[in-house]
Structure 1
Amino acid sequence: MSQKISKEFGISVKKDENFSEWYSQIVEKAGLADYISAKGFIVLRPYGFAIWDLIRIYLDQKFKETGHLNGFLPCLIPESLLNKEEKHFKGFNPEVFWVTSSGDSLLNEKLALRPTSEALLYSIFPKWISSYRDLPLKMNFWNTALRAEIKSTKPFIRNSEFLWQEGHTAHADKKEAEVEVMTILYLYKHFIEKVLSIPTISGYKSNKEKFVGADYTTALEGMMPDGKALQLGTSHNLGLNFSQPFEIKFLNKNNNEDFVWQTSWGISWRLIGALIMVHGDDKGLILPPIVAPIQIIIIPIYKDVNEHLVKDHANRLRDSLVSLGYRVFVDERDEFTAGWKYNEWEMKGVPVRINIGQRDIESNNVEVVRRDNRQKSIVPMDNLSKEIEKIFQSLQSDLYCKAETFLKEKTKIITNFDDFKGILDGHSGFIVTGWCGNEDCEVRVKEDTGADIRVIPFDSKDLPTGPNTTNDVIRDCIYCRKKANKIVIFAKAY
């Protein structure tokens, strides 16, 4: 029976042979999410929600430490509000779901299901802001957004409704807004790299790819195992582009009226998709300890004669570890073999497994198994907490280093367009190259290859290819061959 169950619930394809199917199986079989009949919508199961909740708890604390307060916004936006910022609205119009009736009665005005909250929130800001004493106003929201993604959907990566976090701030001067943009971007970067163990490249979006209505957009891009880029977080400087149409003004210290300077920024449950893709293997998920709903799984190994004794010790061990702050679960189910349990918890990506049986109790040791490399070690009970902490730190670091090595391998400096197309026809990846700054060249590259400018790195030291990637190496635009005035990263993307 256990063999039949294992085949049914195990991953039936290899990650490097059928990446898309591998990903879909993990989402479903690890108990992260399930599907409904409406295309583009998923149900987040408790285990998947627990991962999102740990992401939320960590970031929420960081936002509060930097002076941001949480609020709540309705999900319906009157069309007239969207039309107040016409350029912004046009950018989202193809993706907007509309509510046009209430029961059998047509509404006097169409209501948009929130694709993003700028227009709705900024219509309220004039009520809250009148003086420099009201600034900075720094708000954050944990909510959902809806965008009509019905063609190429992928759970956590591209959905018609998704969980996300969006921050909105208003400032008395331009410089303060610029500082806010970078503060948040690097808060995201630290979280994604140090907590999720996913390396990123930071920089600006091109004008074509920036957030609609922003002066500029900063972003973090990650590389997925299939060679496609994934945008992991953005932070936008909105300048005066919303405060002017929405008349968000304040009296400054000289008693003169000014418009506020604004920012917005966000991440989404796309980070869960990135975790699956970057760290998962042919056995299932591999979760970094900080965002693992269960950090330690304890498997009691017993026969009928010693079942009570072994389970009792396993539960006492759990209580001891829980008292130290670990998230621990004991799998006491009798209907499954120990081997089946190993496979299930490997599928769910639990960082550490502890096996405990009669002989372990007698010797006062336990067997500890790492999820990432399946390394086993016999650890004295008296030293268990210290050993687990060392494993957690090593696992977190090793996951990052492995992903960083892959990112560097998949990043190439290319100066010839034929070579550029050849890479994108093959294994894809990040291409570091020159760009003249002309949007026409950017569009032509996209049309010819399917790749777009993912990010314009802040500095050469932000490049995986190292600080020697300068204009001494890259002199010309990859498309028109005119002098390059920017070093950029092209890639195909989700």
Structure 2
Amino acid sequence: MSKEEVGITVTKNEDFSEWYTQVVLKAKLADYAPVKGLIVLRPDGYSIWESLRSTFDSKFSKNGIRNGFLPILIPESLLGKEQKHFAGFNPEVFWVTHSGTNEVGDRLALRPTSETLAYTLYSKWIQSWRDLPLKINFWNTALRAEIKATKPFLRTSEFLWQEGHTVHTTQEEAEKEVMKILEIYKNTVEEELAIPVITGKKSEKEKFVGAVYTTTMESIMPDGKALQMGTSHFLGQNFSKPFEVKFADKDNVEHFAWQTSWGVSWRLIGAMIMVHGDDKGLVLPPKVAPTQVVIVPIYKNDEGKEKVFEKVQEIKSNLELQEIRIHVDDREGLSPGFKFNDWELKGVPLRIEIGPKDIEKESIVIAKRHTREKSSLNFSKIEKIPSILDEIQDEMFKSAKIQSMQNTIEIADYSDFKSKIEKGGFINSPWCGKLECEEKIKEETGADIRLIPFDSENSDKKCIYCQQQSVSVPIFARGY
């Protein structure tokens, strides 16, 4: 892709992968780093992440969760304490073996996830029931060797995420925490990013290594592939026992604690790009858009410019008082048409156009990015712009919901399943619960069990693969 190319040069339907990459780069959300598998987050991309972080922090705080910080290096000896858990990450781990020219001795892993480090510390911090529940969230980077099939935000060797780790006195309390977090994730993604999600449990095969069970939220992308949007794990005592996370109860009797862990990453930004973007580029939901409204002044001479900018400043001040994130495009030497296309590429939800003729009519022209519809708005109704942004947010969610429903089908016949999976989408099919059927379906079709929706237990149907009695109706799909 040459520097001379302006705008998106492929359509979303003809080459989804190339379209996605062009949107990420040309909308200036991120760029490639000099090291393969790494990306650089540019200010607009980071602003979206900050918006999500702010929302999560507010909701976490209301749930008694506080933020902490963990270092990035983990001694190999700690990772080995929970062998099954670490074995799942071992192929992806980056290792530090030298400090300068000297060997470090115990190899140091660049954090793939933080359970082992956090729980070594938790065992020191927790003595009695008075120290519980302990709820800490960490805004970290994680590093996992994704060298071959990398894609910005979706699969990179280093990524931004949050990971929460909580400790409880009872199993019941820990399991309630798992579900509280999943609900926070679901509400935030749907309300802030306007992306519908489905929640449920992972199968035993697909659960987080070391967890008793994993709850998840999944979305279907426009190309028919599924994307895991976040997970919340019930760890039981699987980590508290090897790491000796114990507490003395009110009778001074010692018990192993019950634990949870959970996280989302910047792949949420990737999902937002894929779900809402179009052939013109990025389409941003107003709640997370770094710039919610852009004003493009239109004039031909200095006299017209002065008159227009006087009104532009008045509108800008009015909207800033309503806490709208607004920008005035006063760049010289660029035509209004070029500016319109540039802001459409960047996905700004609402554009205001104003020139001398508009001032005479006492109105502005507003252009909605998600529909590209234009209309006039009287000066006296400028106060309506915040509610127009709310309408855009709602319309984007409804549109994404329809798209998701159109990409979801129910199939009970395996030959039909194999045919339909080639087109992608979520497929609801009965399953007997046996690992061998799950593995055969994956081997023959490339489709995983993405999740088993809550309350999807079913004993009236036959397994899609072996025709034995089904126990549930999972959602199958090929995924990112």
- The normalised TM-score by structure 1 is 0.95
Q: 2:446 maps to what in 1?
A: 450
Question: Whole-Å Cα distance in 2 between the matches of residues 138 and 302 of structure 1?
Answer: 57
* Post-superposition CA distance 1:196-247 (Å, at most 9, x none): 1111110000011001110100000000011000000110001001100000
Question: Whole-Å Cα distance in 2 between the matches of residues 424 and 214 of structure 1?
Answer: 29
1:315 paired to 2:321: no
**Runs of 5+ consecutive residues of structure 1 not aligned to the other structure:** 461-468
1:342 paired to 2:328: no
More deviation in 403-412 or 91-100?
403-412
How many angstroms does 1:7 deviate by? 7.6
Q: Residue type of the partner of 1:186?
A: E
Q: Residue type of the partner of 1:490?
A: F
1:167 paired to 2:164: yes
Question: Whole-Å Cα distance in 2 between the matches of residues 313 and 55 of structure 1?
Answer: 33
Q: 1:224 maps to what in 2?
A: 221
How many angstroms does 1:128 deviate by? 1.1
More deviation in 361-370 or 122-131?
361-370
* Post-superposition CA distance 1:439-491 (Å, at most 9, x none): 1111111111111100000025xxxxxxxx9654xx11111111111111110
How many angstroms does 1:360 deviate by? 2.3
1:481 paired to 2:456: no
Question: Whole-Å Cα distance in 1 between the matches of residues 179 and 374 of structure 2?
Answer: 42
1:141 paired to 2:127: no
Q: Residue type of the partner of 1:481?
A: Q
Q: 1:398 maps to what in 2?
A: 395
Question: Whole-Å Cα distance in 2 between the matches of residues 267 and 66 of structure 1?
Answer: 17
Q: 1:77 maps to what in 2?
A: 74
Q: 1:438 maps to what in 2?
A: 434
Q: 1:466 maps to what in 2?
A: none
Matched residue of 1:124: which SS? helix
Instruction: Choose from 232, 253, 258 the match for 1:261.
Output: 258
1:13 paired to 2:10: yes
How many angstroms does 1:21 deviate by? 0.6
Q: 2:290 maps to what in 1?
A: 293
> Number of paired residues?
478
Question: Whole-Å Cα distance in 1 between the matches of residues 242 and 129 of structure 2?
Answer: 20
**Runs of 5+ consecutive residues of structure 2 not aligned to the other structure:** none
**After the TM superposition, which residues 62-461 of structure 1 pair with which residues of structure 2 at under 5 Å, given as runs?**
62-304=59-301, 305-386=303-384, 388-425=385-422, 427-460=423-456
Task: Please say if residues 71 and 139 of structure 1, whose CA atoms lie closer than 8 Å, have aligned partners that are also in contact.
Answer: yes
Q: Residue type of the partner of 2:317?
A: D
How many angstroms does 1:418 deviate by? 1.0
Matched residue of 1:434: which SS? coil
Matched residue of 1:237: which SS? strand
Task: Please say if residues 459 and 469 of structure 2, whose CA atoms lie closer than 8 Å, have aligned partners that are also in contact.
Answer: no
How many angstroms does 1:62 deviate by? 0.9
Question: Whole-Å Cα distance in 2 between the matches of residues 406 and 383 of structure 1?
Answer: 33
Question: Whole-Å Cα distance in 2 between the matches of residues 363 and 311 of structure 1?
Answer: 16
Matched residue of 1:123: which SS? helix
How many angstroms does 1:382 deviate by? 2.2
* Post-superposition CA distance 1:332-374 (Å, at most 9, x none): 0012111111111111111101111112223331111111111
Question: Whole-Å Cα distance in 2 between the matches of residues 335 and 29 of structure 1?
Answer: 21
Matched residue of 1:167: which SS? strand
Question: Whole-Å Cα distance in 2 between the matches of residues 316 and 120 of structure 1?
Answer: 54
More deviation in 306-315 or 147-156?
306-315
Q: 1:465 maps to what in 2?
A: none
**After the TM superposition, which residues 19-34 of structure 1 pair with which residues of structure 2 at under 5 Å, given as runs?**
19-34=16-31
Matched residue of 1:12: which SS? coil
Q: Residue type of the partner of 1:72?
A: F
How many angstroms does 1:25 deviate by? 0.4
Task: Please say if residues 200 and 453 of structure 2, whose CA atoms lie closer than 8 Å, have aligned partners that are also in contact.
Answer: yes
Question: Whole-Å Cα distance in 1 between the matches of residues 236 and 6 of structure 2?
Answer: 51
What RMSD in Å do the two structures reach over aligned CA positions? 1.4
Matched residue of 1:24: which SS? helix
Question: Whole-Å Cα distance in 1 between the matches of residues 364 and 249 of structure 2?
Answer: 66
Q: Which runs of 4+ in 1 moved over 6 A?
A: none
* Post-superposition CA distance 1:375-412 (Å, at most 9, x none): 212112221122x2232222112111111112111111
Q: Residue type of the partner of 2:325?
A: R
Task: Please say if residues 171 and 177 of structure 1, whose CA atoms lie closer than 8 Å, have aligned partners that are also in contact.
Answer: yes
Question: Whole-Å Cα distance in 2 between the matches of residues 50 and 471 of structure 1?
Answer: 48
Q: Residue type of the partner of 1:323?
A: L
Task: Please say if residues 458 and 471 of structure 2, whose CA atoms lie closer than 8 Å, have aligned partners that are also in contact.
Answer: no
How many angstroms does 1:123 deviate by? 0.3
- The normalised TM-score by structure 2 is 0.97
Question: Whole-Å Cα distance in 2 between the matches of residues 6 and 442 of structure 1?
Answer: 47
Matched residue of 2:152: which SS? coil
Task: Please say if residues 294 and 350 of structure 2, whose CA atoms lie closer than 8 Å, have aligned partners that are also in contact.
Answer: yes
